[in-house]
Structure 1
Amino acid sequence: MTGESKKAGSRRQRAGGQMSVRLKRMRGESLKPPIASVAEDGEAAKPQATLDCGWGKLIFAQTFKTNEGVVEALRGERRDRRDIAFYVRDPHVLLSLAPQEIFLDPSHSYRLELPTYRAGSRQPRGYFIRRLSSQSDAEAVNAIYAARKMVQVNPDFFWSSRDSRSITCFVAEDEASGEIIGTVTGIDHGRAFADPERGSSLWCLAVDPQARHPGIGEMLVRRVAEHFKARGAAFLDLSVMHDNEQAISLYEKLGFHRISIFTVKRKNPINEKFFAPQIESYDALNPYARIVVDEARRRGVHVDVLDAEGGFFRLSFGGRSIKCREALSELTSGVAMSICDDKAVTRRVVEKAGLTVPEQIEADSGEKRVAAFVKKHGRVVVKPARGEQGRGVAVGLEKPQDVAAAIAGAREVCDRVLVESCFDGNDLRLVVIDYKLVAAALRRPPQIVGDGRRSIAELIGAQSRRRAAATDGESTIPVDDETARCLAAQGFGLDDVPDEGAEILVRKTANLHTGGSIHDVTDIVHPELVDAACHAARAIGIPVVGIDFMVQAPDRPDYVFIEANERPGLANHEPQPTAERYLDLLFPMSRVRHDEMAAET
């Protein structure tokens, strides 16, 4: 062959190879390089590449010569971790090697072609995105992971990896409060294992369910894409659950497309819900029942759903059977439940036990007495004697006509209506299980942030949709008389368009079901508040209860007792182990068995 013929042949080979690569990428196929291939910087691609990400290892299956090697890598999974084998091309073959140990994850893989990606014009408002840079950032990220039921990471891992060239963790920080409200992790495949395809991937996208700002998830994804595009990466891949329609819609909006790559994981307690037979009517349970059912299944406690819509189920273990309704069980007596059911009775019981309570009268005491009560205290609270989830409650009333209207509204919930003195401060919920504090959280009333374009009614609607999405529909913001009163007190109406950045209180009640948000303060709550809550639980004689105080600050001893909830929402208090302590109370020996099983795993 002549020199010219050799050059022409070489050009045809290169062109054919490039066309093959382009076709494979268009089809969404992964390129399987030979193990000895070389990346652009001259470094040989690492065989059997894995990367510790804190929550578990990311196993790059395309770098393994055999499927047996991938199985062995998955078998090395540590306790309480979730290893992921990604870029699996022949899952049916891989699963046949260890069907009792591994399973095909019900997720889709998506890819963003970075050379053609264009940055969006929209910018974050009210928050900014930066790299994780401190131990407190790491702890805040873990809190978000817990709230989203994701595997947590040792904060020391984040800190030790802060200068890593393979792993980059971004956080979204609220400009006003300084709180971390979102996080995402990016993996540079070139740095991780000298990937000849120059790939990258996105993991652990999570937004704080209490966050007020829209578009946080989109901005985090864009930041990762722009980060890797600037570093010459060819694509950004991710894995998303097949039924996560909201996330899939976001990814497709940003230009991601499906690729034929699969994910395989190990059968462990963390992944059980993805491979174990589903409990009948499980999907119809609300989050407060589901968190208990999930913990029961992890421990080997048998579950029978009795009425999914009402949240009723039966738990059985070691010959013992207990019926529950969410966090309410047969261990709570009818007397204790009756005490909590009537707010006036609850107040009298805890007052006799020595707790500080607000002054209170019944609305049926007569107009003159009610008027004198309002005049004496200046501001009052009107609430039904029986009721839950903040229905019929009006806070901070000063005018007689507002009090009268609130009383009429509360009567729609319960015939007996209470009027009590109002105290400024923060709404604190303390969850007491087996007469010990398990969780403490501030409950903040719903707020909106103006953008200079939308009306208050539109902003409330958008915020309500975000709260509903973050809580499985449990939290929405009603637009009613209480909302109108709260806005009018600040000089606003529903049709007004607030300035950009203006923060407006929508309601004065902080209940989750009326749009409030919950912020964990267990680590800083004052010991005297803990003692008072536990003392109240013993006075009522109730083993599981949510005690509500009005406090100046969670780390100060001053408080006023508000009410006791016999069915506290345990799902609202992650990362605290509310469901774990609840199962400890119901079936003490199940914890021993769970620990033994975990140790074997």
Structure 2
Amino acid sequence: MRTTAYNQRLLRGQTPSYERLQARLAEDHNAPPSQPLAVHCGWGRLLIGHTYPDAGELAAALLDEQPGERDIALYVAAPHQVLAQAPQQLFLDPSDTLRLWFTDYRPARRGFRGYRIRRAQNEADWQAINCLYQMRGMLPIEPGKLTPYNEGGPTYWLAEDEDSGAVIGSVMGLNHQRAFRDPENGSSLWCLAVDPQCSRPGVGEVLVRHLIEHFMSRGLSYLDLSVLHDNRQAKQLYAKLGFRELQTFSLKRKNGINQPLFLGPGPQAELNPYARIIVDEALRRGIEVQVDDAEAGLFTLSQGGRRIRCRESLSDLTSAVSMTLCQDKRLT
């Protein structure tokens, strides 16, 4: 254990990268993966970024996302190089990656009663998990698309109320050693969700602890997870358990599901519906919007060195809008 702790301290400051992964595999005399790794989780793919040899290949994989799914590329060491391949289609996920080295983990001092943790086993379990995910605004799982467990696929766990038998929480775990022969013996946590109507305390914490202790029993070394940068409640829980920030990045494709992540808050002005349609579409395309007069539906679109002033769906290239701008001295 002492040697393990020492080795982990040496690794803590290292950012996951393709070159480092290849070097570690060579040190352990293991053959590198024959191809970059993508694990299907039922709602989309996890693209293990540091198994991709170049930025173009990772960008192409992200662009191959299927309709209605949500792919995530994690462990991206140089996100700017990937984004440069398709700047209009890809974006940097505003999430933090956290890591818990198991040598830092401390078991719970008290237990929680009233529910049990077990693996998802049948169609009824998947339906219950999907109901829970939909309540939380998450994508449902299609079990038939999951990468098989014996091929390195994920495992879903659920929290089941002992009295009612209802599913009150769920989480997904991925064993990196099984998935891509990770020389650092890592694992990761995804899709943690708890029923918003649940009255049982500590369900989320117990699910996380269960996953930690499960992977510890398998001889793994750490657990990673991704959490939105402004999710303070979740971050407080993870900090309590010993998670620390890992310097790496995640990328996603721009789509309707991810829209709140790459659009940001946008203009807060109360635009009329006709102006709002144009403004929202401009934001989706990465065009800067400045609201000049919300009541009149006047706004300015800017991209690169070009600026166009608009009134609802008309621009200042039309005489009517130009006349409106000239009549109002506040706008000229």
Q: Which TM class, normalised by the smaller chain length?
A: 0.7 to 0.9
Report the counterpart of residue 69 of structure 1 in structure 2: 57
Counterpart check, 1:273 vs 2:260: yes
Is contact 1:225-1:236 (8 Å) kept?
A: yes
Q: Which one of the candidate residues 113, 116, 120 is aligned to 1:128?
A: 116
Q: Distance in 2 between matches of 1:211 and 1:134?
A: 22
Report the counterpart of residue 192 of structure 1 in structure 2: 179
Report the counterpart of residue 80 of structure 1 in structure 2: 68
The alpha-carbon deviation at position 94 of structure 1 amounts to: 1.9
Report the counterpart of residue 102 of structure 2 in structure 1: 114
Report the counterpart of residue 29 of structure 1 in structure 2: 15
Relative to structure 1, the CA distance from residue 121 to residue 19 in structure 2 (aligned partners, 3 Å threshold; closer, same or farther) is closer
Q: Which one of the candidate residues 177, 186, 205 is aligned to 2:192?
A: 205
Report the counterpart of residue 487 of structure 1 in structure 2: none
Report the counterpart of residue 132 of structure 2 in structure 1: 144
Is contact 1:112-1:255 (8 Å) kept?
A: yes
Is contact 2:106-2:241 (8 Å) kept?
A: no
Is contact 2:97-2:245 (8 Å) kept?
A: yes
Q: Distance in 2 between matches of 1:162 and 1:178?
A: 26
Percent identity over the alignment?
42
1:331-358 deviation line (CA, Å, top 9, x unaligned)? xxxxxxxxxxxxxxxxxxxxxxxxxxxx
Counterpart check, 1:227 vs 2:214: yes
The alpha-carbon deviation at position 155 of structure 1 amounts to: 4.2
Gaps of 5+ in 2: 270-275, 284-290, 295-311, 314-332
Is contact 1:171-1:184 (8 Å) kept?
A: yes
Secondary structure at the aligned position of 1:34 is classed as: helix
Q: Distance in 1 between matches of 2:86 and 2:149?
A: 36
Letter in 1 for 2:254: K
Letter in 1 for 2:159: A
Report the counterpart of residue 260 of structure 1 in structure 2: 247
Measured on the aligned residues, the alpha-carbon RMSD in Å equals 3.4
Q: Which one of the candidate residues 221, 225, 235 is aligned to 1:248?
A: 235
Q: Distance in 2 between matches of 1:39 and 1:186?
A: 27
Letter in 2 for 1:23: L
Relative to structure 1, the CA distance from residue 19 to residue 208 in structure 2 (aligned partners, 3 Å threshold; closer, same or farther) is closer
Letter in 2 for 1:210: Q
Is contact 1:38-1:45 (8 Å) kept?
A: no
1:203-241 deviation line (CA, Å, top 9, x unaligned)? 000001111111100000001101111111111001100
39-48 vs 49-58, which deviates more? 39-48
The alpha-carbon deviation at position 157 of structure 1 amounts to: 4.4
Secondary structure at the aligned position of 1:205 is classed as: strand
Report the counterpart of residue 577 of structure 1 in structure 2: none
The residue correspondences of 1:456-475 to structure 2 (distance < 5 A) are none
Q: Distance in 2 between matches of 1:238 and 1:172?
A: 19
Letter in 1 for 2:226: S
Relative to structure 1, the CA distance from residue 122 to residue 157 in structure 2 (aligned partners, 3 Å threshold; closer, same or farther) is farther
Secondary structure at the aligned position of 1:37 is classed as: helix
The alpha-carbon deviation at position 44 of structure 1 amounts to: 3.9
Report the counterpart of residue 217 of structure 1 in structure 2: 204
Is contact 1:36-1:45 (8 Å) kept?
A: no
Is contact 1:165-1:188 (8 Å) kept?
A: yes
Secondary structure at the aligned position of 1:268 is classed as: coil
Gaps of 5+ in 1: 1-14, 283-292, 307-316, 319-601
Q: Distance in 2 between matches of 1:40 and 1:223?
A: 30
The residue correspondences of 1:556-575 to structure 2 (distance < 5 A) are none
Letter in 1 for 2:232: E
Is contact 2:59-2:82 (8 Å) kept?
A: yes
Relative to structure 1, the CA distance from residue 234 to residue 149 in structure 2 (aligned partners, 3 Å threshold; closer, same or farther) is same
Secondary structure at the aligned position of 2:245 is classed as: strand
1:463-483 deviation line (CA, Å, top 9, x unaligned)? xxxxxxxxxxxxxxxxxxxxx
The alpha-carbon deviation at position 164 of structure 1 amounts to: 6.6
The residue correspondences of 1:382-531 to structure 2 (distance < 5 A) are none
Relative to structure 1, the CA distance from residue 234 to residue 46 in structure 2 (aligned partners, 3 Å threshold; closer, same or farther) is farther
The residue correspondences of 1:82-97 to structure 2 (distance < 5 A) are 82-97=70-85
Q: Distance in 2 between matches of 1:98 and 1:185?
A: 30
- Whose Rg is larger? 1
Counterpart check, 1:47 vs 2:35: yes
Calculate the TM-score normalised by the size of structure 1: 0.42
Is contact 1:46-1:63 (8 Å) kept?
A: no
Q: Distance in 1 between matches of 2:229 and 2:50?
A: 22
Relative to structure 1, the CA distance from residue 53 to residue 39 in structure 2 (aligned partners, 3 Å threshold; closer, same or farther) is farther
Relative to structure 1, the CA distance from residue 224 to residue 43 in structure 2 (aligned partners, 3 Å threshold; closer, same or farther) is farther
Q: Distance in 2 between matches of 1:162 and 1:136?
A: 19
Report the counterpart of residue 48 of structure 2 in structure 1: 60
Calculate the TM-score normalised by the size of structure 2: 0.74
